[in-house]
Amino acid sequence: MCGRCCHDLLLPVTLAEARKWLGRGGQVDVLCEATPWPVEPDSTNAFAGYKRRRTFAASSGTLPIRVAVTLAASFAGACPNLGDDMRCGIYEERPFVCRVYPAEINPFIRLQQEHKLCPSDAWQVRTPFAVGGVLVDSATRVSIEQSRRAAEDEVNDRRALCERLHIDKASVANEGFLIVSPPREQLLAALLDTQAGNGPGTDNGAWTLISNRRATVDTLAKVGALSELDNGQPGDGYRYVGVQGAAADV
Ligand code: SF4
């Protein structure tokens, strides 16, 4: 109840959670990230398997890729559901990611207490939340499993959602994020269509990969991909946010 983790967020949500968030008047953005996937990794590669289950196969020019689509409830400042008393106004219906914090949904990221926003006394509870970096809280473990399952089960619906919204651009994974902010009513209608199972759901094969690094764009072009250098200008229907440490050539 310190409220520290409830400010200035892009909060990953499931499709059902996104519909509810929009229904309450909130904003939801769509983040698309692509990984070149020229060959199938070995089946013993656990990380590749995890990534594969959460992405859909597509292509950029002649380059096979896998695309991850994240819906994110977005807000600057305090979450619209955060009360003055620092209580969550939708506590019983809060998204999985809020139930899981400060634990990690990604099984390949270790819980590191020192990287979390929680005040130190929040960790001093009678029943430990984590021991030696390993999560032991059973309710949180259940929420993590439900969140992972939803992300995997929704992969095809997220692809169909992109088609309905005419989104065919993605950032290059690990370099930055491509963020589309559809009008609230348009996104809600597209989500409701997706829920009803109507409309498209096939790969249009024309994904363009966006980067703010000239070397990446040139390398992708050489292997047959459709690639563009982000020019840092608004008006392209998206905004690009480079990850820290990635050198921009804009
Ligand atoms: S929904 Fe509730 S728990 Fe989640 S960020 Fe908002 S106020 Fe915090």
Per-residue pLDDT, 250: 44
- Give 148 Cα–ligand 1 centroid separation in angstroms: 19
Q: Residues near ligand 1 with C-beta < 6 Å?
A: 6, 11, 79, 81-82, 88, 90, 94, 98
pLDDT-above-70 percentage for the chain:
93
Q: What is the mean pLDDT of residues 236-246?
A: 79
User: Which pLDDT belongs to residue 109?
Assistant: 87
Say yes or no to pLDDT of 158 above 90.
yes
* Secondary structure class of 34 (helix, strand, coil): strand
12 preceded by cis ω (within 30°)? no
Q: Name the pLDDT band for 136 (thresholds 50, 70, 90).
A: confident
Q: Is the pLDDT of residue 104 over 50?
A: yes
pLDDT at residue 65 is higher than 80: yes
Whether 229 and 201 have beta carbons less than 8 Å apart is answered as no
Q: Whose CA is nearest to atom 8 of ligand 1?
A: 6
Q: How many CB atoms lie within 10 A of CB 35?
A: 18
Would you kindly state where each structural domain of the chain is located, as residue ranges? 4-242
Per-residue pLDDT for 51 more than 70?
yes
| 108 or 49: which leads in pLDDT | 49
For atom 5 of ligand 1, which residue has the closest CA? 6
Q: Are strands 7-13 and 208-211 parallel, antiparallel or unpaired?
A: unpaired
**Which of 33, 30, 37, 31 has the alpha carbon at shortest distance from 57?**
37
Dump pLDDT digits (tens) for 188-218: 999 998 877 755 556 656 899 999 999 999 9
Q: So what's the pLDDT on residue 202?
A: 61
Q: Tell me the backbone φ, ψ of residue 74, rounded to 5 degrees.
A: -125, 145
Least confident of 97-106, 174-183, 186-195, 230-239: 230-239
